[in-house]
Structure 1
Amino acid sequence: MLPGWVIFGSAVAYLVLLFGVASYGDSRPRDGSRAGAGRPLVYALSLAIYCTSWTYFGGVGLASMRGWEFLAIYIGPILVFTLGLPLLRRIMEIAKAERLTSVADFIAARYGKNPVVAMLVAFIALVGYVPYIALQLKAISSSVGSLVDTSQYAIGLDSHQLVDLPLLVTLSLAFFAVVFGTRHADATEHQDGLILAIATESLVKLIAILTVGVTVLYGIFDGPAHLIELISANQAAQAALSYETPVSRWITVIVLSAFAIMMLPRQFHVMVVENRTFGELKLAALFFPLYLVLINLFVLPIAMGGLVHFQGAGDADLYVLTLPLSADMPWVTLIAFLGGFSAATAMVIVASVALSIMISNDIVM
């Protein structure tokens, strides 16, 4: 187990660093060649907000039960960015011409900018997204709970306990999400600082999951050959790998994920509202599919390694954390925690910004 103060201190320090990155992004000049030199790469990285804590934790959990099925949710976005680029370009052209600031505005524009349609879309997004944000917060709470001894949960003195540690970390994230969301009053203004922060988080979670994957393969096990040998003798791992996902489920998830990468409020905000030029999208069409491949590269090895190492015990969703923790690798465990924390943080912040724009423009106004 890790000390509670290390977890809390690392989470707060990470959020402060993130805020500093956002402030730096906002302070940079917006004109000139130097200002826009790295913008396409930052934009491409920011699209990886698609990879939430479910990608980081839940993908491993699903792979431990159903093998390759976890890939379906990424095939749709890859197809959109490889085959559907003309469609994405058309969406962006419409959004820029109409000065649209949310997916609710975009759908309403197809119906003569009907305010009732915009309000309905905003309301549906609100109802659907609040539980989704809650899941991100729950993922953070669960990850903290898996790393800290229960005797260190409470903050306080003796019997007068004030608040438990998982709740404290979650509240810190909620506070910073509010701070991020209120930094800009103009919804039509490009939030360069926010996009730079999200791009940074995309790098953090990618580096973290790759670190855990390499550690599992070569630190806990003696390479891929050794892990494959152990998998062949493990019934749970064999059952997961031999699971046959119905074709109808593959098609359903692929189609839904293809629409999700375009129409989820957070994706629309980052991909369409924050886009400046079509050149940014062309780079993203190359970089984003590669990112999805890399972040899922070690999902199966981690899932199978967890089944073999823990013999089917424990929460498979948390194998990313519990595998290095059980191997007495505190630094790798802390990196893994920050990766999951980063995945949840990015989603909560941008989803909150996107929802606030829709609520203020389409429901309240």
Structure 2
Amino acid sequence: MNETAHPPAPARAAPVRAASTSNRPLIAGVAVCVVIALVAEAAGRLLPVIGAPIIAIVIGVAITNLVGHAPVAGRLRIKEVSGFALRAGIVILGATLNLGDVAHTGANSLPLLALTLTLGLAFPLLVGRSLGVDWRMRCLIGMGTTICGASAIAALAPVLRAKTEEIAYSISVIFFFNMLAVIIFPWFGHMLHLSDTGFGLWSGTAVNDTSAVVAAAFAYSPEAGAYATIVKLTRTTLIIPLVLGFGLLMPWLDPEHRAEKTNLLGRIGKVIPWFIGLFVLASLANTLGLVGPAAPTLQLLARFVLVVALAAVGLQAHWRAFAGAGFGPLLLGLGTWAVVAVSSLVVQAWTAQL
């Protein structure tokens, strides 16, 4: 009787051991992405024009295509790592944005930004179809060109449910024109005899990534660099309404959502993920002064977490995906970048801001 009444105790510990074992690949995946991010950050300091985000993607793509997709992305649960890191990085990034900066320091540039943003988003959406570019990649290229490169693409990608190859290719396209801008923008500025504020406004509205804006504008003059940084800060803050706007437009952009019959409130809850709400709340907290002196540290943390996420994106990408996309996205990136740059110059000339 006693033997049947008291079953062996060790059997109860088996589920705990099984759960612990099942998480080992995920922990290993996080460790691999963190190591890649650390290497990318170190390399980015030596090559600031290229930057850690693009280096992390390149390292990830190289590893997964040399070792094989199944041993890396499949077994190490890299997809989970990239999804969590993207969302966490964007929420932390929100705590570094001050919505008041738009009103206090960027009000003069807002009309110009509104025009360039409208053109920079409309062009890829309308023209990209004729180039055979998927609608998600069109949105990502438009967002990356008009807002802030890799960070904007990372913020929008989960809302669009973009594939990792689309994210990697879009960031690569933006990077190419970042490099080009750093080289040719100061040359064009001197050729056109732009004032310091005129060049700062132009580069702040037309160069994609923050690092490239700073590099191009300070190469022109210290005054241009300072002004461009303010304009770029204003432009970056606009990531909030644009990501929310894309979320609301998802039923019209995505055929799968178009078929769903839900009310507006239901659509909002379905297409705007929870992390966007946290992103907005974090930005509001910083605007109200609740973040305080921790903001610079959080900015560094957000950047690193996003680099970890982009390393995971690279680890999920195949060379054949890049080859299969063709030259359409690159041509679309060129056209979008040209539209934004030219429209910015035209409006500045018309309003005597050059």
Point out the structure with max Rg over C-alpha.
2
Decide: shared fold, TM above 0.5: no
If the length of structure 1 is used for normalisation, what is the TM-score? 0.29
Compare relative contact order (CA 8 Å, sep 6+) and give the higher one, 1 or 2: 1
If the length of structure 2 is used for normalisation, what is the TM-score? 0.30
